[in-house]
């Protein structure tokens, strides 16, 4: 008997027996080996006493899975979401219902900011995102440099790099907040950032090492910050964030901070330093290029705002 596609499907959390099939649908575009590894990672990664497949929702017609969407909760009240995927014959309206149901699930879990990343996106997929409450954020460039570019001795600088300790937490938080002002890096997020959530998100990246978080000072004044994360499993260090306060810009200090990050990466004997930067942030890209960081990949980013804007309430 032919299914009546005029009737809305039922959107529910995917039961355990259907999770592999739902994830295979979502990641069908990956090579078989990569798809298998992605599914295993999701199904067997613990998260808050459960697993990170908790945000896997399915669309069902007469108990048959016809579509799925996946949202992965991350620290800092954020989430990464994958575009809803459907079996052949399903309409875009089913994908929209999945997307809206995912938004509701994210809101119930107090997510303030969700994002989707794409190597390529079709016009139809972009229209679906807009209808589902997502907005274009930016294109991200992924940069990397190898040890040949690292300083062989500690760079000489008038800047002082104070390693993180509890007594510096508020100063570091305030400095990160200050560096966001008039930033060219994802400026659409400036009013959405909750600083406590930001710190939680930064700390969750890779292996947290206090000596890789620095409050940067000049002449006893706080002027910037540097946050690195060690990823020993990938043999790299990630430059999670660096910034210079508005009143301290234009003095070449960004380049000095980046060179110090390279020096710290050499000290850990990692094979590369990596980072992501807004493709529209020309000054930052030029600075990173000058110290040997070059683009190797690009992603288009869309975001959904679920929480209150910074300063409200």
Beta strands in the chain (DSSP E): 10-13, 46-47, 50-51, 56-61, 64-74, 78-86, 113-118, 135-145, 160-163, 213-218, 221-231, 236-244, 272-278, 294-305
**What's the pLDDT score for residue 199?**
87
Q: 10-residue block means of pLDDT along the chain (313 residues)?
A: 66 94 92 87 63 85 94 90 95 96 95 94 96 96 96 95 95 92 73 78 90 96 97 96 93 96 97 96 95 96 75 39
> How far is 165 from 167, CA to CA, in rounded Å?
6
The residues, any chain, with a CB within 8 Å of residue 166's CB and separated by 6 or more, are none
Beta strands in 89-184 (DSSP E): 113-118, 135-145, 160-163
CB 184 within 8 A of CB 277: no
What are the structure tokens assigned to 120, written together? 């390529």
Secondary structure class of 243 (helix, strand, coil): strand
The residues, any chain, with a CB within 8 Å of residue 100's CB and separated by 6 or more, are 132, 133
Paired strand residues for 161: 216
Helices (H), 146-268: 169-179, 195-204, 253-267
**What's the pLDDT score for residue 311?**
39
**What's the pLDDT score for residue 121?**
95
Secondary structure class of 304 (helix, strand, coil): strand
What are the structure tokens assigned to 97, written together? 């219902």
5-8, Cβ contacts within 8 angstroms, sequence gap of 24 or more: 5/89, 5/90, 5/91, 7/61, 8/93, 8/94, 8/97
Secondary structure class of 24 (helix, strand, coil): helix
> How far is 176 from 195, CA to CA, in rounded Å?
8
Sole residue written with tokens 């659409």: 188
Q: How far is CA 173 from the centre of its chain?
A: 19
Sole residue written with tokens 């990938």: 234
**What's the pLDDT score for residue 119?**
93
**What's the pLDDT score for residue 187?**
66
**What's the pLDDT score for residue 310?**
41
What domains are defined for the chain?
10-111 (3.40.630.30), 142-298 (3.40.630.30)
Torsion of CA 252, 254, 260, 264, to 10 degrees: -170
**What's the pLDDT score for residue 193?**
66
């Amino acid at each position: 008997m032919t299914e009546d596609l005029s009737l809305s499907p039922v959107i529910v959390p995917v039961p355990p027996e259907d999770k592999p099939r739902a994830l295979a649908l979502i990641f069908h575009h990956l090579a078989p080996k990569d798809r298998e590894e992605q599914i295993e990672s999701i199904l067997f990664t613990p998260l808050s006493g459960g697993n990170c497949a908790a945000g896997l929702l399915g669309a069902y017609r007469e108990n048959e899975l016809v579509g799925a969407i996946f949202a992965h909760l991350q620290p800092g009240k954020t989430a990464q979401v994958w575009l809803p995927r459907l079996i052949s014959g399903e309409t875009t309206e089913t994908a929209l219902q999945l997307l809206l149901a995912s938004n509701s699930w994210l809101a119930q879990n107090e997510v303030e900011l969700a994002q989707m990343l794409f190597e390529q996106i079709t016009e139809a997929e972009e229209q679906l995102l807009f209808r589902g409450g997502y907005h274009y954020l930016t294109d991200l460039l992924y940069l990397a440099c190898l040890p040949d570019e690292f300083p062989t001795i500690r760079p000489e600088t008038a800047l002082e790099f104070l390693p993180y300790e509890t007594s510096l937490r508020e100063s570091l938080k305030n400095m990160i907040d200050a560096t966001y002002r008039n930033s060219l890096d994802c400026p659409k997020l400036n009013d959405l950032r909750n600083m406590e959530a930001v710190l939680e998100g930064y700390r969750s990246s890779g292996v947290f090492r206090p000596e890789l978080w620095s409050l940067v000072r000049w002449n006893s004044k706080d002027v910037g910050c540097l946050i690195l994360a060690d990823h020993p499993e990938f043999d790299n260090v990630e430059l999670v964030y660096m910034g210079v306060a508005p009143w301290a810009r234009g003095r070449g200090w960004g380049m000095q901070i980046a060179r110090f990050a390279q020096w710290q990466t050499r000290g850990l004997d990692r094979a590369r330093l990596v980072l992501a930067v807004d493709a529209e942030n020309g000054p930052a890209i030029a600075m990173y290029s000058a110290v040997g960081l070059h683009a190797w990949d690009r992603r288009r980013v869309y975001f959904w705002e679920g929480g209150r804007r910074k300063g409200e309430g």
